Structure 1
Amino acid sequence: MRAGMIALMLALAAGPAAALSLPGWLSFGEEPAAVEGPPRPVVSVIVDDRGLDARWIPGMVAARTQVQLGFQALGRMIARPVDLGDKVAAGDLLAQLSTDDLAATVRAARAALDAAEVQERTARATLERTQALAARNVASAAQLEQAQQAASAATAAADQARSELLQAEDAEGFARMTAPFAGVVSAVYEAPGAVVGAGAPVLQLSAENTPEVVIDLPESALVGLGPGAVFTVWQRSDPQTEVTAVLDRIDPIADSATRTRRLYLTLPPDTPFRLGALVRARFGSVDAPSLSLPAEAIVTRDGVSTVWRVTRSDAGARVDPVAVEAAAPFRGRVSITRGLEAGDEVVIRGVNSLAPGQPVGRRLEP
């Protein structure tokens, strides 16, 4: 009886256990079957030096040759026939001082010279008489010496008067300011009627035959740049009109406030940009493109910079690492000097989770 009861209890216990058993596909002792899916899409960019993402720097058109002009004499300016923006030729009248005071100064200097010459003639005549009297032992040696000193002083005074007359005449001639070269009036500092001092700037003249673009860059952005580097310049209002500019020089000292250095790009003489115009500039040209990428596309390992380039064909797409040479980041982008060509597709998101030869899907815009 007890044996039957034990057998019945074992049967009842085995029933629920069998009912609660896991199916075979949930067995923890076996690996689940892999589920294949489509390749992951990638966020990428097409490398191009002319796209909207191309790095550009604001700049201004200036003249390499420009001077501030002023009068060499104190006076009241009575005329200034030119104004800001006017074009002038070499020798054109730019401004004129009143010559009334200058003419009076010339007359006073001429009168002073006449008086000095009279005194010089009188002193020389006195010296000649004293020398004649001394030869007959009528005049003493002291009188002769005194006459010689008076004649020398009169001669020196006459020379000084001649010099002052020449200065006064030169000052009268400096009342007219003429253009030393052909150019455009780029700044005006004094208006007609003002009293200007000697050397005080009246206006600024800029030559139009030497236009250049002035841009400012931080030290890190100058890597690989040197005289002769080619830039493309355009205006925001007319992006289709592009002009090639060549880097001429870089300021050796950084600006104390912005810590940037100034670059001067030489423009061709027939440039369509006027002096003072605001322009945009980027490194490279159509014949020598400059490629750039977002900084997050660069993967640096063991000192080597690489990017993931996408190769697409009818059979699909895959990514492969490509070693590149890149400059320091500037405004979130880096310039690629070697390793890529215009038109290459480069991944910019999830670059640390890719493997060489990995298949990828369609391209997504960043």
Structure 2
Amino acid sequence: MHKGPITAFLVLLALAGAASGFDLPWQKPPPAPAAGIRPVVSILVGDTQAAGHSVPGVIVARIEVALGFQTLGRVTARNVDIGDVVRRGDVMATLNPDDLQGDVRAAQAAVEAAQVELRTAEATAQRTRALAGRNVASTAQLEQAERALAAAQAAAQQAQSELVRARDTAGFAEMRAPFDGVVSATFANAGAVVSAGEPVLRLSTQDGIEAVIDLPDTVLSRVRQGDPYEVWTENEPGRILPATVSQIEPVADAATRTRRIHLALEQDADLRLGALVRARPAGAAAARLVLPQAAVLERDGAELVWVVSRDGDRATVALRRVQTAGPAPGGRLTIASGLAEGEEVVIRGIHSLTEGQIVGASVTP
């Protein structure tokens, strides 16, 4: 019902804005789109395989043994902890000896009882032979006495064997170091009941260390035993240690589908056991350029990439043929030829570009 005054007010306001040189919010024209120019997701090609695409690993001993007791029992003492250095023959853990000594005493008693039975059977057989020689005892009685003597002899031998076994088992109550080394892990504390063969601790030699890494099958196709590698720690990235592929495990991990690679380090390598390291191929293999697989376009059997050329504010894209040299870690491809370090390559949206198309600024992936 007040439409007249409101309409007149808006008309006067528009005329005043036009006269004063400013635009009202609803009078601002929309921004003109930059037709044909689109930003691109690109990266600068560099020696990324050597610098950023190393593989994590861990330092382990070349020889590690998980030690356990050879009999069931309760752990009464564990004399070592992680990091302790032991010598061959040192007692590292013990079981409760009471039950084992009780078995020894029982076996000793069985031996004594078997010896009494044996002496009795020997005396009986001797008397029966004498009586049979005077035709007082029958042949059946003599045979029965001989059988009793043979059974007593066998029972005595069995009891003696059980005594030897019980004494050996009593000796298993002490876990002694089989070689000089360092304790690298513990699995049971004092008071725990362990079964025969259950790991109690792990002993590692100090003769040599190695780095272990896990690689997928796509990368393993280019790894051979004896290949040189470089190993370093995150704390000292500038201290590069040489290593050599000493073993490639034949069976892949069931969860990750990767295989473990053992890298032998030199004897003077002073890395501690369990240290986290990074490793990469050494030499020419590490100096090749790499690109994400999504950046490579395949047409008519050729491998192509979109290279961005920038001249001031103007940028265009052009297809260039490259040659790959196999997969690299992280879902990438190794570029053998066709690109130079520092060139800009499109890594996303490669199927929607055209030759010579003008593009905008680079967007970080």
Fold equivalence (TM over 0.5): yes
| 2:30 counterpart residue number | none
Correspondence 1:245 to 2:227:
no
Matches within 5 A, 1:56-67: 56-67=54-65
CA shift, 1:291, in A, is: 1.9
Show the 5 A alignment for 1:84-123: 84-123=82-121
Q: Deviations over 1:239-276 (max 9, x none)?
A: 11221222222332332222222222222233232221
How does 1:5-44 map onto structure 2 within 5 Å?
Answer: 44=44
Letter in 2 for 1:260: T
Which contiguous aligned blocks of 4+ residues in structure 1 show a shift greater than 6 angstroms? Answer: 306-310, 319-322, 350-355
Is 1:179 the counterpart of 2:177? The answer is yes
AA aligned opposite 2:241: V
Task: Give a deviation string over 1:72-106, Cα, whole Å, max 9, x none.
Answer: 12333222110122222222221122333322322
- Name the % identity: 46
1:218-233 to 2 correspondence within 5 Å?
218-233=216-231
Paired position in structure 2 for 1:293: 290
In 2: Cα distance, 1:335 partner to 1:227 partner: 21
How many aligned residue pairs are there? 304
RMSD: 3.2
Change (3 A) 1:340 1:203: farther
State the TM-score, normalizing by the size of structure 2: 0.72
Partner SS, residue 102 of structure 1: helix
**Alpha-carbon distance change, 287 to 333 in structure 1, aligned in 2, over 3 angstroms:** closer
Asked whether the equivalents of residues 49 and 328 of structure 2 are also in contact (C-alpha less than 8 Å), the reply is: no
Q: Retained in 2: the 8 A contact 1:71–1:174? A: yes
Matches within 5 A, 1:41-52: 44-47=44-47, 50-51=50-51
Alignment of 1:106-255 (within 5 A): 106-255=104-253
The superposition leaves residues 258-314 of structure 1 with CA deviations (integer Å, 9 ceiling, x where unpaired) of: 2222222222233232221211111x225764423223665655545578999xxxx
- From the CA coordinates, give the structure whose radius of gyration is larger: 1
What is the SS of the residue equivalent to 1:198?
coil
Q: Which runs of 5+ in 1 are unaligned?
A: 1-41, 311-318, 356-363
**Distance of 1:100 and 1:324 partners within structure 2:** 74
Structure 2, unmatched stretches of 5+, are 1-41, 309-317, 357-361
Cα distance per residue 1:190-235 (max 9 Å; x no partner): 2123333322221111223242222222222222112112221111
Q: Which amino acid aligns with 2:330?
A: R
Q: 2:74 pairs with 73, 76, 81, which one?
A: 76
Q: Is the 8 Å Cα contact of residues 232 and 245 (structure 1) preserved in structure 2? A: yes
TM-score (norm 1): 0.72
Q: State the distance in 1 between where 2:66 and 2:89 align.
A: 16
Q: Could you say which residue in structure 2 is the equivalent of 1:331? A: 330
* Inter-partner Cα distance in structure 1 for 2:63 and 2:323: 41
Is the 1:308–1:322 Cα contact (8 Å) retained in structure 2? Answer: no
Report SS of the residue matched to 2:155: helix
Q: Distance in 2 between matches of 1:222 and 1:76?
A: 46
Give 3-state SS (helix, strand or coil) of 1:348's partner: strand
For the residue of structure 2 that corresponds to 1:239, the secondary structure is: coil
List per-residue Cα deviations over 1:113-154 (Å, max 9, x = no partner): 122112112211211221121122111111111101100110
Specify the SS of the correspondent of 2:148.
Answer: helix
Q: What amino acid does structure 2 have at the position aligned with 1:164?
A: E
Indicate the SS of the match to 1:193: coil
In structure 2, the CA distance between the partners of 1:273 and 1:140, relative to structure 1 (3 Å rule), is same
